[in-house]
Chain A
Amino acid sequence: MISAFFIFNQKGEVLISRLYRTDFKRSIADVFRIQVVSNPDVRSPLITLGSTSFFHVRVNNLYVVAVTKTNANAALVFEFCYRFINICKSYFGKMDEESIKNNFVVVYELVDEINDFGYPQNSEIDTLKTYITTESVVSATQAPEVSSRITAQATGATSWRRSGDDVKYKKNEAFVDVVEVVNWMGSAKGTTLRADVDGHIQMRAYLSGTPECKFGLNDKLVIDRGAVGTSGPSSGLADRGGGDAVELDDCQFHQCVRLNDFDADRSISFIPPDGEFELMRYRATSNIKLPLKVIPTVTEIGTTKVSYDITLKTTFSPKLSATNVVVRIPTPLNTTDVDVGILGTGKAKYVPAENVIVWKIARLQGGQECSLSAMAQLTSTTTRQVWARPPIDVDFQVLMFTASGLIVRFLKVFEKSNYHSIKWVRYLTKANGGYQVRF
């Protein structure tokens, strides 16, 4: 359990201080300031001094700190800190010193509402917004009957959704966004060291009443199971060419999904929250289709020059295209100047402050190829320091493409009024700092 909760700014000044339990004085904050904020050697997010443990998470120059004197649940405390950060981001648009200072009353209200006596309480953002309000987050009047409804929602079995009759839409729609972040680590020789996909399915449900949803993916286990009746599980997939099922290593669901059902037959059924939420997260590691190939040739010529030859190839169908492609190519620390030439599309320039060549391509069609060649001039240095050669990093987005091959097969909505609903599905694959190749 959490005994005290603080927010510090970078200088170690206390912005928010809340003691949930009585085993600390407010002055405990000074200990943290001295031991952590002003101690550059501290690299661990968790510090125990005597019997006092400080957990901290850094976000935009702020320290979010939880303090405890017990053998607390470390994962829970960190998850709680991150939840708090997410709530703040959702309420104020961002989380930094300014937004905390401008909204301290709401922050105190939130801090009190999501934790009581050190035990985290309901922290569903949508529910919180119904009764903790700011100028930008306005809710209905606080008549007792409304409050009863709010409290029922905050504690109910479907704490994430207002009761049935409250939700009405003229047009019943559900939007499903499959977003995959593909991580790849390639070796200098072009082999894949690791490739995996962190995917999440974002849903925006504008459905009236209390809709019961069933959601289907081309999950290999489900499809195999379907085939079990006719043939063995191993042959089931091979018969149908195999390529259309995806093997998910692990799935995690929003709390609205009935985990027991999933455990029993891998079916995904739920009553969705109203509005936007993350339905599930998944991870896949097998048969990852890498949308971009990066072929780097980097040679150090003597001690004064480095030549670069980087080729990008898209592997997906020509109907699709990668957008916002940004390639970051590290240069040695003692680079003085870089000559860059590009074959194909895009713009590249050397950014001395970060020691990288940044190559930006607004759009790259499927099946296309383009390359960059550059020559970096180095100053001679007296110290013999090796260059760490950080990996080349590529960021991009590809619409209507999933690196894992995941496809939404169906989304069925059942409601007692039996209305017709429209569903929309979009796919997006992107790289987010984890698509790297060594050279």
Chain B
Amino acid sequence: MSIKAPRKGENYELSVDLNSEYREKRKDAIKRVIASMTVDVSGLFPDVLKNMQTDDLEQKKLVYLYLMNYAKTQPELVILAVNTFVKDSDDPNPLVRALAIRTMGVLRAEKIIDYLCDPLQKCLRDENPYVRKTAALCVAKLYDLKPELVIDNGFLEQLHEMIADSNPMVVANTVAALTDIHIAASSQPSISPNDPALFPISSSILTKLLIALNECSEWGRVAILNALARYVAKDDKESEHICERVVPQFQHVNGSVVLAAVKVIMIHMRGVRREDLIKQLVRKMAPPLVTLLSSPPEVQWVALRNINLLLQKRPDILSNEMRVFFCKYNDPLYVKVEKLDIMVRLAGENNVDALLSELKEYASEVDVDFVRKSIKAIGQTAIKIDAAAERCVHVLLDLIDTRVSYVVQEAVVVMKDIFRKYPSTYEGIIPTLCANLDELDEPEAKASLIWIIGEYANKIDNADELLGIFVDTFTEESYPVQLQTLTAVVKLFLKKPDSSQGIVQRILNTATKDCDSPDVRDRAYIYWRLLSTDPGAAKAVVLAQRPPISIPRTTVAPALLEELLGEVSSLASVYHKPEETFVGKGRVGAESLQRKTDAPDDRFSTQKALQTVAAGQQAENLLDFDDAPAVEGRPSGLAATEVLSHTPAAANLLAGTSSNPLDDLVSIFGAPATPAPPSANSHDIFGGLGVNSAFSSGGTGSLGSPAVQSPSVAVPPLQKNQQPEDDLLGLF
């Protein structure tokens, strides 16, 4: 009690009131203390503590609330509260008993813990379920503080017994507590598979959980469903049984229960062999998923991200439901973008007309981002459905007619992909595109148009004239445009050698002498040497047949997809990234990432994982929220990324910008073998909105021949400057 507040100021007044002889005045003072908890009122600790012993439940709650917040700052004084706590845990009023045990668990003062065990022991066996359910969670709190106390006191065994409790809420909280302990224990590096803290779901537990599932509260259902998801079924009969028991939960009003049920079904459906049952389950899953679209936007968004995953696994799940994904005018952008993506996934010959008229409508909205994405979606539809390509092209031409700058530019970019997919089909529209040449001011649009001109140079009479415009301003253009101009002019020369000798000389000269990008320079040299030594070889390289492009059916690798579907509704499923990439704690090792590379084409997921881990580590270093000492045993492989924590990359990350130089770095060492997904350029750690760009511009990313680089693969010069780090990352 040696701490004396200064004799003036608000704290002093409070302290006087807290010691007042009038009960009401004291209570009022406690309320005021709590109101000012956003500033430091820890100095009032002894005064508040004096008010702990009271019959007034509300006042008791207030004092407890204060204690929870400040016990840590006054560890030596907390001991004074122990007596009251122990007494309260024996109070005839169950609310008081529960309150005492709940509060003791979160005080986190060493001195009080030893006094916690006896009351906890008693409360776990309390006759009142409210006290028992509170005590169950208290065991998890204790494990978080001092695991050995939990094990020594046999609390774990007691929890295991409580799974059979008659009260469903107690069962749910017990399951939550055991799962919490399980997760904490399994994150320890040296855990034996027989550790008592682990919580394997046995078949006898399964039976109990299935019974409790139908009776407990919504949140309890989620906890139980999560536990069911971890159960490994013995045979297909058991899988069927679980699915049948869980399916009714689809009708729950709480969206998280519905998604948790979807998760359990998706996991246990793997074990079901009866085709008719699988069909039935999938059919029953569709309506609740659609209903989630009438939830608040945030829940909707989580649902949409998960529907996106589900569709990658089972494309037929919502085949007749495209219309429900039509965007509403006042949907938030993040919802609209996801809906667009899903609409394209659901597009087929039967509904493409409705889709196109929708997309055209979106293209006239105000939000530039959304408009662009809608136009991209038109391009994807054209590439996905051959029969609809022509209609898509007509829509794009209509949009170009609006002459709105960003609409035209995006439409040109999209047209390039359509030309890639359907070569020599829509040459008739090239004049229209060229007529808009002056409108273009964005590099990607310019580069796309230049690519088209180069590709059809032999059919465009004034190709040399058009390309000449870009050659004249060559040094002022951005690098992607320069690269494209260079390639297009060489193509022109190979197709019309007589008329374009001059222009090719000019550009090769400029590119090798006046250009400051090593990429552009190198490419120019290669062309020059090819042309001078063996024009035939040049033709074979530059005019080579390119592999056809298509829209990938999945945006994540199959192994990762399976893992994410096992985590439906979690953050991982929202981000479409494995958990290890954003739940750091320093236990992310190269091994845990390698685990996912068992499928041959898992390179993408590994890359993405690497990017995020790298980014995540940096952010953590800089923000350093944690008061715990720095994580021990940071895996050696990641040490390389630590070097970078002072680079602009980290600054960018914090500032919320999306261009993270590291992403480019990581993406390039995958590039020679398989071109990196363009998402590497616009990797967006925040909303996860950018995660899907691998899909959205997948068409441009899959260029095979290194000679015909598409603009979106062209990498900014930054990577050259950071070549040393690239080597470091190569350790992986």
Contact = CB atoms under 8 A, between A and B. Distances in A.
A46 B574 contact: yes
Interface of A: 1, 13-15, 17, 20-25, 27-28, 31, 35, 39, 41-53, 55, 57, 68-76, 78-82, 104-105, 108-109, 112, 116-117, 119-124, 131, 133, 142-144, 147-148, 150-152, 154-157, 159, 185, 187, 193-194, 196, 198, 249-255, 258-260, 262-263, 278, 280-281, 283, 285, 384, 386, 388-391, 433-434, 436, 438
Contacts of A142: 57, 93, 95
A45 B300 CA distance: 11
Nearest to A118: B180
B332 A17 contact: no
B253 A252 contact: yes
Interface residues of B, number: 120
Contact of A72 (B131, B140, B570): B570
B94 A147 contact: yes
B569 interface: yes
Interface of chain A: mostly helix, strand, loop or mixed: mixed
A68 B291 CA distance: 27
B346 to A, nearest CB: 14
Interface stretch (B267-275, B322-330, B430-438, B717-725): B322-330
Contacts of A45: 297-298, 301, 334
Contacts of A147: 93-96
Contact of B98 (A15, A151, A263): A151
Given A194-B324, A250-B291, A259-B251, A117 B106 contact: yes
A433 B329 CA distance: 10
Interface in B366-397: 366
Give the one of B94, B249, B303 with max A CB within 10 A.
Answer: B94
Contacts of A25: 625-627
A418 B130 CA distance: 32
Interface stretch (B190-198, B356-364, B668-676): B356-364
B569 to A, nearest CB: 4
Contact of B260 (A73, A187, A258): A73
Give the one of B131, B620, B656 with max A CB within 10 A.
Answer: B656
Interface in B270-321: 287-288, 290-291, 294, 296-299, 301-303
B686 interface: yes
Contacts of A252: 251-253, 258, 288, 291
A262 B170 CA distance: 26
A152 B129 contact: yes
Nearest to B56: A142
Contacts of B222: 73, 76
B219 A76 contact: yes
B565 interface: no
B343 to A, nearest CB: 12
18 contacts: A17-B37, A22-B144, A46-B301, A46-B687, A70-B183, A72-B571, A73-B226, A73-B570, A79-B299, A109-B61, A117-B180, A144-B91, A148-B128, A185-B328, A249-B291, A253-B251, A255-B218, A386-B404
Give the one of B31, B137, B573, B583 with max A CB within 10 A.
Answer: B583
B259 A75 contact: yes
Contacts of A196: 324
Given A117-B140, A193-B358, A250 B296 contact: no
Interface of B: 31, 34-35, 37-38, 57-58, 61-62, 65, 91-96, 98, 102, 105-106, 108, 128-131, 133-134, 137, 140-141, 144, 167-170, 173, 176, 180, 183, 214-215, 217-219, 222-223, 226, 247-249, 251-256, 258-260, 287-288, 290-291, 294, 296-299, 301-303, 323-324, 326, 328-330, 332-334, 354, 357-358, 361, 364-366, 402-404, 567, 569-575, 579, 582-585, 616-620, 623, 625-628, 654, 656, 685-689
A269 to B, nearest CB: 13
Contact of B252 (A51, A119, A143, A259): A259
A117 B37 CA distance: 20
A416 B287 CA distance: 37
A259 B249 CA distance: 7
A263 B247 contact: yes
A155 B61 contact: no
6 cross-chain pairs, A with B, having the tightest CB-CB distances, nearest first: A44-B687, A151-B130, A250-B287, A50-B619, A50-B620, A259-B248
Contacts of B618: 50
A119 B223 contact: yes
A75 B297 CA distance: 11
Nearest to A67: B625
A35 B657 CA distance: 11
A48 B219 contact: no
A71 B567 contact: yes
Given A119-B137, A152-B128, A390-B329, 7 more contacts: A55-B298, A71-B570, A82-B298, A156-B167, A193-B357, A249-B287, A254-B253
B230 to A, nearest CB: 14
B290 A283 contact: yes
Interface of chain B: mostly helix, strand, loop or mixed: helix
B570 A388 contact: no
Given A73-B569, A193-B323, A384-B403, A44 B296 contact: no
Given A50-B623, A122-B169, A193-B323, A250 B288 contact: yes
A46 B688 contact: yes
A27 B62 CA distance: 23
B106 A122 contact: no
Contacts of B358: 193
B688 to A, nearest CB: 7
A47 B128 CA distance: 40
Nearest to B129: A155
B266 to A, nearest CB: 14
A106 to B, nearest CB: 10
A388 B219 contact: no
A76 B568 CA distance: 11
B623 to A, nearest CB: 6
Nearest to A194: B323
Contact of A185 (B287, B326, B625): B326
Contacts of A75: 255-256, 259-260, 299, 302-303, 569
Given A71-B571, A155-B129, A43 B623 contact: no
Contacts of B260: 73, 75-76
Give the one of B34, B95, B247, B288 with max A CB within 10 A.
Answer: B95
A151 B251 contact: no
Given A53-B582, A57-B298, A112-B65, A31 B256 contact: no
Contact of B217 (A21, A53, A55, A159): A159
B364 A1 contact: no
A262 B253 CA distance: 14
Contact of B169 (A81, A155, A436): A155
Contact of A23 (B94, B287, B572, B626): B626
Contacts of A157: 167-168, 215
A57 to B, nearest CB: 6
Nearest to A255: B218
B570 A151 contact: no
A11 to B, nearest CB: 13
A55 B108 CA distance: 26
Contact of B34 (A39, A47, A49, A104): A104
Contacts of A70: 183, 583
B251 A251 contact: yes
Nearest to A281: B253
B95 A283 contact: no
A23 B184 CA distance: 12
Contacts of B402: 386
